[in-house]
Amino acid sequence: MNKAKIGIFGGSGFYSLFTEKKDFEAGTKYGKPSAAVSIGKIGAKDVAFMPRHGAKHVLPPYRVPYKANIAAFKEACVERIIGPCAAGSLQPDVKPGDFVICDQLIDRTWGRDDTYFHGPEVAHASFAEPYCPEMRKVAIEACQKLGISYHPKGTVVVINGPRFSTKAESRWYSSQGWEVINMTQYPESILAREMEMCYLNISLITDYDAGLEGHPEVKPVTAAEVSKIFASNNERVKKLIAEIVKNMPEKRHCGCGEAMKYARI
């Protein structure tokens, strides 16, 4: 397999990245990944790409083989992961079409295998800051340069899916002050941490979840609307990713590469 220091997961509506690429069917001890790893170039840099739901969106969020996907990127020598995703807004000022560079995460999933350390080796990863600060800084600067409507921080609550929220659930999440709702950010982010890989989330807001309090004209989200909004913004997502990749420092200075150094007892 060719090597690439930066890996990108494609979310809902984002299934391809390169016009010229080499595909590799990665086999890992954690099973088969969602799709082949594609290696191509963004500018002068080799980059790996994989659609997390599969090339034809055949995997619901709770069945994405997160451990195999991260392991496949690790085999390709990926050090940094960019994880764009379609997401809902929980706050009126976070509008469809906006990007949110998340800095925090709330896990509301269940039953997902979220660690590589099931014993006899046991480790407890620090997850106080779930997203790489160095990558977030580059992403924020890229949004500013491109004139993209963005939010420099935000908390994403990750639900199990595949169903969307009830109005009561959405109201609760909003009341906590959380900005974004999604189904795939966990355990993808913590598994990257356990592999000592940097991880960046870019949430593209496609909807207002179960609607917007006080605005009856804002209807609850549908899968068709998510796909439509993300597809119409695909070029913006790719342009932002290209700018981030171009400006990413060659060497890491964030500490993510030693995340597990003191995790074992």
* Active centre residues (catalytic): 207, 209
**Environment class of 123 (CB within 10 Å of its CB; exposed 0-12, middle 13-18, buried 19+):** middle
- Residue 182, classified by CB atoms within 10 Å of its CB into exposed (0-12), middle (13-18) or buried (19+), is buried
| 244 neighbors 82 (Cβ within 8 angstroms) | yes
Tokens of 263: 């995790």
Distance CA 51, CA 65 (A): 11
| Dihedral sign of CA atoms 202, 52, 63, 61 in order | positive
Spatial separation of the C-alpha atoms in residues 92 and 250, rounded to whole Å: 38
Closest CA to 90 of 79, 74, 102, 80: 102
Q: How many residues does the chain have?
A: 265
